[in-house]
Amino acid sequence: MKLLITGGAGFIGSNFILHWLKNHPGDSIVNLDKLTYCGNLENLKTINNDSKYEFVKGDICDTKLVAKVMKDIDTVVHFAAESHVDRSILEPDAFIKTNIVGTHVLLEAAVKNKVRRFHHISTDEVFGALPLDDPGKFSESTKYDPRSPYSASKAASDHLVNAYHTTYDLPVTITNTSNNYGPYQYPEKLLPLAITNLLEDKKVPIYGDGKYVRDWLYVEDHCRAIELVLEKAEVGETYLIGGLTEDVNNLELIKRVLAIMGKSEDMLEYVKDRPGHDRRYAVDWSKAKKKLGYKPLYGLDTYLEKTINWYKDNESWWKRIKSGDYLKYYKEQYEKR
């Protein structure tokens, strides 16, 4: 099988490519990535000379390029997206272009080339937010209610994918996933930011009161879930993929990190909240468990320790990132609050 992976130099995409080639050595992969600020080919340096792997630098909005790379592709796994909520508030235009227009370009090419499967990676944020005192969780039947430019653009892309299935009979599947974490995550997200700051003896910024709840999904579990979808899922189906069964708020999460790293809670620094900050996301991933046999391999604390150890062992990777343009963004987002 020949796969086209969009956004394969990013955090989740690069983890997926490594996972797939390790477990499916007979398959080949084309990685199409624009290499924006969060794309990093260093993530994939171990397969640079693999004859089954090809990298193409380019934009998913480039119709001619997408048509070219789509030829002879059996399966598309579409990761490429602008994904950071804070950035979508500052610069929404890029999110509209990449997440909506880019997805449309890919869908058109997939229809023309009659791909066997178009799998779209989405987010639980398309469903809006839940109150802290609400025991309910998002499910595949939850009504869409996006609340940021990022989540609105992803909701639109989900609708496009489903529309191409209904209108053009394109064989599609969708996964809406919760907050991913693990190796190779760009250090603007909460966990890698916290871990790398603590490794540098810097404080960890906490938005508002810190009592924001997310479902935390270790990236390797996410990769396994996508693998199960491609191998077992029915065409046209959507699956929610999560990593937890009980709520853990951001403050508690970072306190667990502090405990594992042997750091004091004095390293917490509360900062001004961001606009429209959703209070709670919770994911019911029972459909994926029942239909596909999906479940996380380990618990949260084990995965937090694995993640911390990866950043400890790969200091040169994240220090190169944090010494560049990231510092300007970091100062704009946190130090001026």
Active site residues: 124-125, 150
Q: How many residues does the chain have?
A: 337
User: What does the alpha-carbon distance between residue 198 and residue 247 come to, in Å, rounded to a whole number?
Assistant: 24
**Which three-class secondary structure state does DSSP give residue 35?**
coil
Amino acid identity at 129 = A
User: What does the alpha-carbon distance between residue 317 and residue 122 come to, in Å, rounded to a whole number?
Assistant: 27
Place of tokens 């390797």: 220
Whether the CB-CB separation of 236 and 172 falls below 8 Å is answered with: yes
Max Cα-Cα span within the chain: 57
The one-character DSSP state at 52 is: T
Terminal alpha carbon distance of the chain: 50
**Which three-class secondary structure state does DSSP give residue 56?**
strand
Whether the CB-CB separation of 60 and 106 falls below 8 Å is answered with: yes
Contacts of 128 (CB under 8 A, 6+ apart): 144, 145, 146, 147, 151, 278
Residues facing 138 on adjacent strands: 283
User: What does the alpha-carbon distance between residue 127 and residue 144 come to, in Å, rounded to a whole number?
Assistant: 4
Whether the CB-CB separation of 320 and 253 falls below 8 Å is answered with: no
CA angle 33/35/39 to nearest 5° reads 95
User: What does the alpha-carbon distance between residue 131 and residue 211 come to, in Å, rounded to a whole number?
Assistant: 11
Whether the CB-CB separation of 238 and 216 falls below 8 Å is answered with: no
